[in-house]
Structure 1
Amino acid sequence: MKTIKLTSLAVAPLVLAGVAVAGPIAGATAASATPSDCLVGRPDSNTGYAICLKGTGQVRAKITCEDGINGHRYINHGPWVNVNQRSYAACGAAQRVTVVLVDYELR
């Protein structure tokens, strides 16, 4: 009988420690919210931006650029920024390359 009680008492701190560790992890996940109410814009033919107005996390602009001479398309990204900040990306040589699509990515 004593052996069973000692075994139970030896396991109890591990169980309690596991609950204590799992609690904050679950709380952090439940409290996280992705950015929302996101907008994109194109202030000129060579630049695009993205901004999210609500939530938490980060957003970055993702623009598709097209070379006006050879038709080649490529993607440029702006920096990751927090909610309520604008992430800008540009295509490069404004006289040759233009933005054909403005989008965004979240994290």
Structure 2
Amino acid sequence: MALFSSQPTTNASRRLQAIVPPHFFRHKPEVEAWSRDHWYICFKPIREDLLNCESPPVDFHEIISLITPRAFPNLSGMNDGDPGTQPQRVLMLMKRMGTYKLEGVPENSSF
């Protein structure tokens, strides 16, 4: 099951089509917050599981790594959000950087 869909793009038409939150599925017990039905809707394919407080089998660094080697700037502040997730955020960003290094384009990832 795909968590998001993408359309083929050319270099001229690439654009950022993702929101990266400061929280993680695995480290935040209130996963049902991702199942909202107003404002913006995240992760529609797994909404029912989120409503049942079930965490998906993936986390954000794994989802973000799917766009490698395309550029991905993380614009969230390092001290924003739940203080309990800050150590996990740094680990997530480092794991994501490893994917970009493996692809030979570490300059395409920043935080």
The normalised TM-score by structure 1 is 0.21
Higher strand share: 1
Higher helix share: 2
The normalised TM-score by structure 2 is 0.21
